[in-house]
């Protein structure tokens, strides 16, 4: 898989957060229920995002997590880097150790192109962009429901 499961869950939760009013703390339990993700697992993932400064958290009643920046300033890349690290964009198609451009393998040129396409996509797509699209067309973030299910509290 391109992205790990943790990463995908992190992205979905981030989209959820970006779809809410900024500044509002959302309990992880709410997200895990709506997004159909194990609560404890999602908690661990979001802790990583908090540690990276992408989210901030607040304990106790009315607590939860929220984005530290408006979703329009958060490219998908930030979340991918925080959870999966940079392997996808630095590591290589043939996985040869210690490889740079100095001593390339035959696949390098073609792979570099493809990899750049992936990088571009992740860097130039923001949470808000996807949220707007998702709201407009009622696209889905979960197995069954459309984007709107996130809002019938």
Partner DNA sequence: GGTTATTGAGACTCCTTTGTCTTAAAATAA
Partner DNA sequence: TTATTTTAAGACAAAGGAGTCTCAATAACC
Q: Which residues of the chain form contacts with a copy of itself (CB under 8 A)? A: 1-3, 5, 8, 11-12, 15, 87-88, 91, 93-98, 103-108, 110-111, 113-114, 117-118, 121, 125, 130-131, 133-134, 139-143, 146-147
Site for DNA in 17-46 (CB under 7 A): 26-29, 38, 40-41, 43-44, 46
Q: How far apart are CA 81 and CA 8, in angstroms?
A: 12
Instruction: Give yes or no for residue 89 binding ligand SF4 (CB under 6 A).
Output: no
Interaction partner, residue 98 (DNA, ligand SF4, a copy of itself, none; CB < 5-8 Å by kind): a copy of itself
Residue environment code for 68-99, b if the CB has 16+ CB neighbours within 10 A, otherwise e:
eeebeebbbbbbbbbbbeeebbeebeeeeeeb
Q: What is the DSSP letter of 125?
A: -
């Amino acid at each position: 898989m391109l992205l790990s499961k943790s990463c995908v869950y992190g992205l979905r939760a981030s989209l959820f957060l970006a779809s809410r009013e900024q500044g509002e703390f959302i309990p992880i339990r709410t997200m895990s229920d709506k997004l159909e993700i194990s609560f404890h697992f999602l908690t661990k993932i979001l802790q990583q995002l908090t540690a990276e400064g992408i989210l901030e958290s607040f304990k106790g009643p009315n607590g939860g997590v929220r984005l530290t920046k408006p979703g329009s300033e958060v490219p998908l890349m930030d979340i991918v880097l925080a959870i999966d690290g940079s392997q996808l964009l630095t590591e290589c198609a043939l996985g040869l150790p210690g490889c740079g451009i100095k001593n390339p393998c035959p696949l390098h040129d073609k792979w570099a192109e493809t990899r750049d396409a992936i990088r571009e996509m992740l860097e130039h797509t923001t949470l808000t962009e996807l949220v707007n699209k998702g709201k407009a067309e009622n696209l889905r973030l979960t197995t069954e429901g459309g984007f709107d299910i996130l809002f019938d509290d």
